[in-house]
């Protein structure tokens, strides 16, 4: 039987050989590298390889053995689960990154982890349902392994629709699995940006009797994607990192986490609290490919084209071969310039 090497991903120094049919049977016939990487954490692989041998030696997982669960990973006090917008590269996205960063800084004394919802974020919007299922499955997996972990969930644009479906709102775009009933009390806050639900003249607070009192929709005054419904911040659909919405959303979520929180896990003796990354100095200028600008958070990808964060200057197609210069004009704004 052919075997697949898992665990040599993401610069791990150890690996696991897994029979392909065990992967597909374990995960309902759908297996991606992100699924594998999410389950084969460094800690889980290290536990499997008791001899400590590198990728030249492997643990064998038989078809009936199953995959390591989230119990193999460290449990955090708070897990931020966020779905990126349409056309963005996999990850938290250009709205999710500053939101998670600000929320983490506001939860000093708590251990905080993040999870980027694994879904296609396609232009047809049909991937929102599968995204909701991935969000719900992740929460179920972590909740079952980590009894004290609570969740802050959210998304941007189509990622907001992912969140709508996960909290049980019918959107009409696609269907997916909602968060399990036993996990609902573990969700401390729901924060979304540019939610297409606004086109139906609804917010999560209005549409969900279960999650409404712990939810917040942010919609810009010029954002047609959310229908400008109950607009509470300025700007259009790509303005949320620069118009204060991500900071406001983080403050909202942090207050809910703290108001209902058990005592956070103390920092172990002798271990210093990580120092937040300092805000880059304004007037910083970077010349790089549009793809690298997107990866670094200086630009966002929308339908395959790159736009500077804050200024929304058009940078052309997202590519490793299209090179442009961006200059930072304030803490959250980049503008296209001719040269650095």
Residue 253 CA to its chain's centroid (Å): 15
Q: Is 34 a catalytic residue?
A: no
Catalytic residue from among 136, 157, 174, 242 = 157
Contacts of 107 (CB under 8 A, 6+ apart): 77, 78, 254, 257, 258, 264
Strand-pairing partners, residue 266, are: none
Which one is catalytic: 79, 118, 223, 247? 223
- Exactly one of 136, 173, 237, 288 is catalytic; name it: 237
Task: Tally Cβ neighbours within 10 Å of residue 278.
Answer: 6
Q: Is 127 a catalytic residue?
A: no
Residues with Cβ within 8 Å of 147's Cβ and at least 6 positions away in sequence, in order, are none
Beta carbons within 10 angstroms of residue 113's beta carbon: 18
Token reading at 23: 């992967």
Return d(Cα 190, Cα 288) in angstroms, integer.
35
- Catalytic status, residue 213: no
In angstroms, rounded to a whole number, what is the distance separating the alpha carbons of residues 206 and 98?
26
DSSP 284-309: -EEEEEHHHHHHHTSEEEETTEEEET
User: Looking at the annotation, which residues are catalytic?
Assistant: 157, 223, 237
């Amino acid at each position: 039987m052919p075997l697949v090497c898992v665990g040599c991903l993401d610069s791990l120094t150890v690996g696991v050989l897994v029979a392909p049919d065990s992967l597909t049977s374990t995960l309902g016939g759908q297996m991606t590298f992100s699924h594998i990487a999410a389950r084969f954490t460094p800690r889980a692989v290290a536990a499997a390889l008791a001899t400590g041998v590198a990728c030249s030696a492997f643990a064998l997982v038989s078809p009936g053995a199953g995959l390591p669960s989230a119990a193999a990973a460290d449990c955090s006090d708070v897990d931020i689960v966020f779905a990126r917008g349409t056309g963005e590269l996999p990850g938290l996205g250009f709205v999710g990154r500053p939101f998670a960063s600000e929320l983490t800084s506001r939860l000093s004394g708590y251990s905080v982890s993040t999870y980027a919802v694994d879904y296609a974020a396609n232009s047809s919007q049909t991937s929102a349902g599968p995204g909701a299922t991935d969000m719900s499955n992740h929460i179920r997996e972590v909740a079952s392994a980590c009894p004290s972990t609570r969740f802050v969930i959210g998304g941007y644009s189509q990622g907001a629709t992912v969140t709508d479906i996960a909290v049980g709102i019918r959107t009409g775009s696609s269907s997916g699995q909602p968060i399990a009933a036993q996990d609902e009390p573990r969700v401390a806050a729901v924060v979304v940006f540019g939610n297409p639900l606004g086109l139906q003249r609804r917010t999560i607070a209005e549409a969900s009797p279960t999650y409404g009192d712990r939810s917040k929709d942010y919609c810009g005054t010029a954002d047609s994607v959310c229908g400008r419904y109950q607009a509470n911040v300025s700007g259009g659909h790509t303005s949320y990192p620069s118009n204060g919405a991500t900071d406001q959303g983080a403050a909202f979520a942090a207050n809910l986490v703290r108001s209902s929180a058990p005592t956070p896990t103390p920092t172990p003796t002798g271990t210093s609290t990580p120092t937040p990354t300092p805000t880059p100095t304004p007037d910083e200028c970077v010349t790089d490919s549009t793809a690298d600008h997107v990866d670094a958070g200086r630009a966002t990808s929308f339908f395959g084209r790159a736009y500077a964060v804050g200024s929304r200057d058009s940078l052309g197609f997202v590519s490793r071969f299209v090179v442009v210069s961006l200059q930072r004009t304030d803490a959250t704004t980049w503008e296209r310039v001719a040269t650095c």
